Structure 1
Amino acid sequence: MTNLTLNDGRTMPQLGLGTYQIPDAQVATIVRAGLDAGFRLIDTAAIYHNERGVGEGLVHDEVFLTTKLWNDRHTDAAAALDESLALLGRDEVDLYLIHWPHPAADDYVAAWRALVDLREAGKTRSIGVSNFMPEHLDRIIQATGVTPTVNQIELHPTFQQRDCAAYNADHGIVTQSWSPLGQGETLKDERIVSIADRLGATPAQVIIAWHLAKGFSVIPKTGNVDRLAGNYAAHEVTLSQEDLSAIDAMDDAAGRMGPDPDTF
């Protein structure tokens, strides 16, 4: 499995396991099965209310662990991370993200300054953001001189966020795709299904392979243990340039499924 080099010199697995909407009581089982399947990047967040279960599932030491700062803690990031670390049973995480810019409160620059301090204090090895658009990124970089290592955004074949992904690439920020399978809807798309049928792959594998080929980090979520190995095996699927172009052509400016970062 490929590792990506972050702009702080550290490396991160390109393919990871998301845990959104997996209940705390079930997530340890999923995480353990994901590690057995080969995943070494696990993504959670304070707002998922499953950090304790994620921590219980971390039976391997060599796991890259991400969690996130919720919107109501932008002025209280140090205490928020301490709470997450206590639940996870860890002294540090590999990556701490500001979950949303929450521009209405306008505290995300202060939150970013706090994350810089938390990195210096050894509470997190790397720092980044989630759902930040170029104007939000410009502000935090200009205010601190520190560029996020990762920007985790909604990204799937029918909502490709090319402007934001291009900004990230230009600034050495890894684009990490959340909801990479389009909340399951894209799995039924005949364009994806036809490629999958021809390659003897699953639709999920085709979409994950597209993200990987684009150079994105990707964190598909499944609550189904039986799907974990198949999702991880997507890194073995090779798409032709024609396949990639066909999926590129699925982009839809109106394809957003989650909240709008400018108003959420």
Structure 2
Amino acid sequence: MNRLEGLEETTTLNNGVKMPRLGLGVWKTDNTSAKESVKEGIIKGYHLIDTAKQYGNESGVGEGIKEGLAETGMNRKDLFITTKLFNGDQGYQSTLDAVNGTLERLDLTYIDLYLIHWPVDGKYIDTWRAMEKLYHDGKVRAIGVSNFDNERLQNLLDNTNIVPAVNQMEFNPINQEKGIVEFNNHAGIQLEAWSPLGGGEALSNPEIKKIADKYSKSVAQVIIRWDWQKGIVTIPKSSHEKRIIQNSDIFDFKLSDDDIKTIDAIDKAKRSLWYDDFGWHNPEGQVVDAVDKWDDSPKNYKD
């Protein structure tokens, strides 16, 4: 399988929708850079693009989608666009209202996958019921969650009607969330990895470097290939053309079972962020839970 063929590979979600298995993320990217990354990603063969209102770059992503489609001659249906409901918009009616701003910023008529970004206690059940309505109304093709631990996910399953199609979690060699992976697999929920490369600690790991040298690949390519063979949907971020291509150049080799076991054994269950880090949930939290503001943000990010 070559690189472009690999980027067309999909997994079938629990509602029958087909989702690309490898995509492009744009976290911590301003609107101008997001536009260029998304445009370049589409030109280089990516079909899955992942953003969020909290990232403050939905407008840039929308412009990149438009320019990428124009450049390639593809249609909107050839892409799979994921975005996420901001925590401050959670609640039933506020969720129904918030999707309109997101669609306007992305300049789209529908979203392929809409996720609850974080489980805001006391609100995420009502939020999910609104997500179910958006799904039934056809504004979104699939709905899912992000950063839901097993306790909150079970509570969601017990009190709502639609099983989430996806749970997007931090997942990388340093933090493998094995209990959450098992729960999701049992429930028929596709796991998707954010921060799939695990930062400096994973990228400098000598065991992974040894595997990378064996295949004449980069450590990042080995990690993304490890995700691929484990059935994890992966969205590495890059704003550089060379790396956008390299991150998807993983289809001309296959990790051995021993290689997989070696990387599995690296797990430290070491999260970089978690629920109680956010000021939204914990007044002593270390992470400001707000929409990222960029100098190039359009006026419609005032909310």
TM-score normalized by structure 2? 0.84
Q: Is residue 7–residue 149 contact of structure 1 (8 Å, CA) maintained in 2? A: yes
Q: Does residue 1:4 correspond to 2:45, yes or no?
A: no
Deviation at 1:25, TM superposition (A): 1.4
Q: Does residue 1:90 correspond to 2:97, yes or no?
A: no
Deviation at 1:43, TM superposition (A): 0.2
Q: Does residue 1:204 correspond to 2:207, yes or no?
A: no
CA distance in structure 1 between the partners assigned to 2:43 and 2:23 by the alignment = 13
Deviation at 1:134, TM superposition (A): 1.3
Given candidates 64, 84, 95, the residue that maps to 1:68 is: 84
Per the alignment, do residues 184 and 234 of structure 1 end up closer, same or farther by CA in structure 2, a change over 3 Å counting?
Answer: farther
The code of the aligned residue for 1:43 comes to: D
Q: Does residue 1:57 correspond to 2:64, yes or no?
A: yes
Q: Does residue 1:46 correspond to 2:62, yes or no?
A: no
Moved over 4 A (4+): 261-264
What is the identity percentage for the equivalent residue pairs of Structure 1 and Structure 2? Answer: 40
Given candidates 248, 256, 259, the residue that maps to 2:271 is: 256
Deviation at 1:262, TM superposition (A): 8.8
Say which SS state the counterpart of residue 14 (structure 2) adopts.
coil
Deviation at 1:205, TM superposition (A): 0.3
Q: Is residue 176–residue 217 contact of structure 1 (8 Å, CA) maintained in 2? A: yes
CA distance in structure 2 between the partners assigned to 1:108 and 1:262 by the alignment = 18
The code of the aligned residue for 2:107 comes to: G
**Which residue in 1 is equivalent to 2:209?**
193
Q: Does residue 1:135 correspond to 2:151, yes or no?
A: yes
CA distance in structure 2 between the partners assigned to 1:258 and 1:182 by the alignment = 12
Which structure 2 segments of 5+ residues have no match? Answer: 1-5, 70-75, 282-303
The code of the aligned residue for 1:124 comes to: V
Say which SS state the counterpart of residue 232 (structure 1) adopts.
coil
CA distance in structure 2 between the partners assigned to 1:261 and 1:165 by the alignment = 21
CA distance in structure 1 between the partners assigned to 2:90 and 2:63 by the alignment = 27
CA distance in structure 2 between the partners assigned to 1:177 and 1:210 by the alignment = 12
Deviation at 1:80, TM superposition (A): 1.0
Superposed, which structure 2 residues align to 1:102-251 within 5 Å? 102-103=120-121, 106-251=122-267
CA distance in structure 2 between the partners assigned to 1:261 and 1:203 by the alignment = 31
CA deviations over 1:108-155 (Å, ceiling 9, x no partner): 000000000001111111000000111111112211121000000011
Q: Is residue 6–residue 174 contact of structure 1 (8 Å, CA) maintained in 2? A: yes
Q: Is residue 133–residue 261 contact of structure 1 (8 Å, CA) maintained in 2? A: no
Per the alignment, do residues 230 and 214 of structure 1 end up closer, same or farther by CA in structure 2, a change over 3 Å counting?
Answer: same
Q: Does residue 1:27 correspond to 2:34, yes or no?
A: yes
Per the alignment, do residues 190 and 57 of structure 1 end up closer, same or farther by CA in structure 2, a change over 3 Å counting?
Answer: same
Report the number of matched residues. 261
Deviation at 1:36, TM superposition (A): 2.0
The code of the aligned residue for 1:181 comes to: L
TM-score normalized by structure 1? 0.96
Say which SS state the counterpart of residue 145 (structure 2) adopts.
strand
RMSD value over aligned CA atoms?
1.3
Per the alignment, do residues 262 and 175 of structure 1 end up closer, same or farther by CA in structure 2, a change over 3 Å counting?
Answer: farther
The code of the aligned residue for 1:73 comes to: D
CA deviations over 1:26-57 (Å, ceiling 9, x no partner): 11111111112221100000000000010111
CA distance in structure 2 between the partners assigned to 1:136 and 1:236 by the alignment = 39
CA distance in structure 1 between the partners assigned to 2:276 and 2:255 by the alignment = 31
Q: Is residue 101–residue 261 contact of structure 1 (8 Å, CA) maintained in 2? A: no
